Amino acid sequence: MVKKSKILVVDDVELNLLMLKKILTPLNYEIFLANDGIEAIEKTLEINPDLILLDIIMPRMNGFEVLQRLKGDDTTRKIPILIVTSMNEVDNRVKALELGADDILSKPFDITEISARVKSLIKIKTYYDQINEYQLAEKKRLEIELKSLYVQLKQFESQLFQAQKMSVLGTMVAGMAHELNNAMMGILNFVQHCLIHTSKEDKRYSFMQDAENQVNRCIKIVSDVLAISRAKITYTDEPEIINIKEITEQILRLLSHRIKRGKVEIFCEIPEEANKIWANHNIQQVFLNLINNALDAVKESQIKQIYISSYIEEQWVKIRIKDTGIGILPQDIDKIFAPFFTTKPVGQGTGLGLMICRNIIEAHGGRIVCESIQGENTTFTFFLPHNKL
């Protein structure tokens, strides 16, 4: 049902009120009546009409005062006012227009003319209301969008600050690892020199062999740390063919102490045909983050297993990292890649790891998805180009 436009007719002569009501009611308007200026103000505030037909000469408050009050109030100034008066002097008509009247009609009026003018002013008011509604809706939309952009800006500022800290830390770690590597090489040279000049029958020989193996192990760990550090701080290096087995083994060596301590079984199934990807070295960060998360997930599980596998799917290598951990709540699946969202206890996660993984993968033209059964397992599957795209 179409809503009727509301018209307030203001006149101190009862006959004029009844006549205007009789003319306008058949035109599908809702008519309200007021006998003087004060009643006109009260009813305007009460019903918020779409149009006011206003007489000038009235008791208590004349039409000029009503015009001044209504057009001076922000809540009523947009209501069109049609002056219907017997005052035909030019000065009075000019005064009414200066006070904000939208149109003037002289008494006695023609029925056809007043009907046409009322229809025209109602149409203008309808257009104004539609524009106002659109502006309000647009303002609300822009406010919501602005708030969202502000939240994103604060998040990006925090991420940038975190990235800067990680960059500095990566540089420091790389420097420390380089110095440690030099020291280890010196120790290794000394141990190997001793081995060459020690008889195999000497009981000290086996101890020096153990020392050589452990120093080599330390050198390998330092080498892996250097590789990861370079991957973090050289995000824009050129892509090349990367060996999945090599970086997986590298990450697993870095995490070997944690894997052994947690008694976690690692199963790798990386066939030769699905062993190569076209990527930057920072792709190691993805493997590191996802395997670390898998180790966190199986910590409280009875079955502690992690499966790493790769497959060819058209021009993509599909890589899966699956754990037998606690799983992720269904309502959290869509949030896990959002910045600062974490399922880990307070203080045990930044909520940035998976976001970084997604950003690195998408920067390579790939994508990452997560599937999880709460209490049973979680699988992260990501797609990377097999060759140059």
**Tens of pLDDT along 274-284?**
999 999 888 88
pLDDT, tens digit, 9 for 90 and up, residues 170-219: 667 667 776 787 788 788 888 888 888 888 888 888 888 888 888 877 87
pLDDT, tens digit, 9 for 90 and up, residues 355-369: 888 888 998 899 999
Q: Is residue 219 assigned to a domain?
A: no
Residues 6 or more apart whose CB falls under 8 angstroms from that of 263 comprise 304
Instruction: CATH number of the domain at 67, please.
Output: 3.40.50.2300
Checking if the pLDDT of 166 tops 70, the result is no
Q: Domain boundary residue among 109, 143, 165?
A: 109
Query: Are the C-beta atoms of residues 180 and 223 closer than 8 Å to each other?
Result: no
Q: Is residue 13 assigned to a domain?
A: yes
Query: DSSP strand E in 74-146: where?
Result: 81-85, 103-106
What is the spatial distance between Cα 16 and Cα 38, in angstroms, rounded to a whole number? 18
Longest Cα pair distance anywhere in the chain, in angstroms? 133
Location of structure tokens 């894997």: 259
Checking if the pLDDT of 346 tops 60, the result is no
Instruction: CATH number of the domain at 371, please.
Output: 3.30.565.10
Residue 234's pLDDT is: 44
Residue 109's pLDDT is: 80
What is the spatial distance between Cα 254 and Cα 222, in angstroms, rounded to a whole number? 9
What is the spatial distance between Cα 253 and Cα 233, in angstroms, rounded to a whole number? 21
From the list 288, 178, 190, 157, the residue with the least C-alpha distance to 223 is 178
What is the spatial distance between Cα 264 and Cα 306, in angstroms, rounded to a whole number? 7
What total number of domains does the chain contain?
2
**Helix/strand/coil for 317:** strand
Location of structure tokens 């999945």: 244
Q: Domain boundary residue among 89, 109, 129?
A: 109
Checking if the pLDDT of 345 tops 90, the result is no
Q: What is the mean pLDDT of residues 259-265?
A: 91
Q: Domain boundary residue among 74, 89, 109?
A: 109
Q: Is residue 229 assigned to a domain?
A: no
Q: Provide φ and ψ at 50, rounded to 5°.
A: -90, -15
Q: Tell me which residue range forms the domain holding 365.
A: 238-385
Q: Is residue 330 assigned to a domain?
A: yes
Structure tokens belonging to residue 208: 């020096």
Q: Is residue 19 assigned to a domain?
A: yes
189 versus 310: the higher-pLDDT residue is 310
Residue 118's pLDDT is: 92
Q: Is residue 335 assigned to a domain?
A: yes
From the list 350, 363, 355, the residue with the least C-alpha distance to 338 is 355
From the list 14, 13, 69, the residue with the least C-alpha distance to 40 is 69
Q: Is residue 354 assigned to a domain?
A: yes
Checking if the pLDDT of 347 tops 60, the result is no
Same domain, 244 and 381: yes
pLDDT-derived band at 253 (thresholds 50, 70, 90) equals confident
Residue 235's pLDDT is: 44
**Beta strands 305-313; 316-323: pairing state:** antiparallel
In the Cβ-directed half-sphere of 372, how many Cα atoms lie within 13 Å? Answer: 20
Cis peptide bond N-terminal to 239, omega within 30:
no
Residue 351's pLDDT is: 64
Residue 47's pLDDT is: 92
Mean pLDDT for the chain overall: 85
pLDDT, tens digit, 9 for 90 and up, residues 294-304: 998 999 899 99
Residue 233's pLDDT is: 43
Q: Is residue 12 assigned to a domain?
A: yes
From the list 291, 380, 370, the residue with the least C-alpha distance to 334 is 370
Q: Which amino acid is at 131?
A: I
Checking if the pLDDT of 323 tops 80, the result is yes
